[in-house]
Amino acid sequence: MTVWLVVGGVVQVGLVLLLAPLFEGLMRKLVRARIHSREGPPIWQPYYDLFKLLVKEDTQPAAGWVYLLPSVLCLASVLTASLLVPLFGRGILGEQGDAILFIYLMAASVAAVVLAGAMSGSPYSSVGFAREIMMTLTVEPVLIMALITAAIDAGSLDLGAMAAWHSAHGPSLSMLIAAFALLLSVQAQVGKLPFDVPEADQEIMGGPFIELSGPKLALFKWAFWAKQLVLAALLVQVFVPWPTFTLGLAGSAALGAALCALVALVKVLVVVVVVAVVDAVNPRLRLDQAMAYFVAVIFVAGIGLILAFVGT
């Protein structure tokens, strides 16, 4: 059992790491560049970027392994969270962790960004991490409320059980509202426009990331791309788990699983495309405007929560 866990975990983490830059590259070339009337960079550009950054010299204002901590923590928490997402019935670590752990891991990835910002003495960085904290205060509750809505529906905190309950009981109003609110929050969670307030290149030049270079910057970039994939997967697997092929079309379980994976991939792609389009067609909001927006989203998510309580 443990061996299976380790092998499966390694394979899935590897897949997430491998696919995350590909999705980013596809979006840059096929969505962003299209909307811009541009040729766009090669689809493999994010891989080149990562490679370049990873082999680059790490210029840092102060030495010490502790400065590596935030970037490693960010990527590690995102990758661990990916193991909780139910891909085939249940996440690889579904036995060991539930929605609460997932929420904590997402919060840890944000805390890593704040930490990176706090480690720099730059005023831009201070403004950036302060903004990151403020944004999280309104964005994180959306994720929490969406998951609690699903937990109430399914009567369990287990992500796999939520997915199973949704696929068994069909779409409900509370679930749709929760899914919608979650979709809106993904945009901010992965630092895309109009909500990239903490980084805001044109205002505070990358905020918490201003003094990061080389491998550390690479790990953060990788973590954000992976986070987009993980959240999209969570959204489509837990809240929109149809169509399912668990029984298999021709009675073959393996074929069913493969079809499931394919459908999941397509649905994730749809979410990522939506995120990329919204990113391309919006200017950046100001912190107060972004927070006001998410306060409204929290209200919407709250309605979903109430509906779940009354059982709709």
Partner 1 sequence: MAVAEQMTEDLGLGAMTFAREIDERAPNQVYVEVAPEDIVGAAEHVVQRLGGRYVVTVGTDDRERRGDFCASHIFSLEDRHVFLTLQARVEPYEPAVESITGLVPGASWAERELQDMLGITVHGLDDSRRLVLPDDWPTDVHPLRRDVPYNIRPEPVEGLAPPRREPPPGASVMAIGPYFPVLEEPAYFRLFVDGEKIVGCDYRGFYNHRGVEKLGDSALTYTQVPFIAERICGICGFIHSTCYCEAVETAIGVPAPPRAKYIRSIMLELERVHSHLLWFGIAAHILGFDTALMQSWRMREPVMWLCERISGNRKTYGMNQVGGVRRDISAELAQEILQVLDTVEREWLELYRAAQGDGTLLMRLADVGPITPEDAKAICVVGPTARGSGLPLDARIDHPYAAYAELPVNVITFDNCDSLGRTLVRLEEVFDSIKQIRTALRNLPEGAVMVEIEEIPPGREGICTVEAPRGEAIHYVLTGPNNQLAQWRVRAPTYPNLQVVPRMLQDQNIADVPIAVGSLDPCFSCTERMEVVDRRSGHARLYSREEILELSGPRLGLREPPEWVHEHNDRDHVH
Binding site for partner 1 (CB under 8 A): 35-38, 123-124, 127, 193-194, 196-197, 200-205, 280-289
Indicate the residue among 36 and 52 with the shorter CB distance to partner 1: 36
Tell me how far, at minimum, the Cβ of 131 lies from partner 1, in Å: 8
Indicate the residue among 19 and 280 with the shorter CB distance to partner 1: 280
Beta carbons within 8 Å of 228's beta carbon, 6+ residues apart: 20, 23, 24, 186, 190, 272, 275
Tell me how far, at minimum, the Cβ of 176 lies from partner 1, in Å: 24
Burial class (CB in 10 A: 0-12, 13-18, 19+), 207: buried
Indicate the residue among 17 and 291 with the shorter CB distance to partner 1: 291
Tell me how far, at minimum, the Cβ of 110 lies from partner 1, in Å: 20
Tell me how far, at minimum, the Cβ of 299 lies from partner 1, in Å: 19
Indicate the residue among 13 and 217 with the shorter CB distance to partner 1: 217
Tell me how far, at minimum, the Cβ of 34 lies from partner 1, in Å: 10
Indicate the residue among 228 and 237 with the shorter CB distance to partner 1: 228
Question: What's the gap between Cα 120 and its chain centre?
Answer: 25
CB 9 within 8 A of CB 92: yes
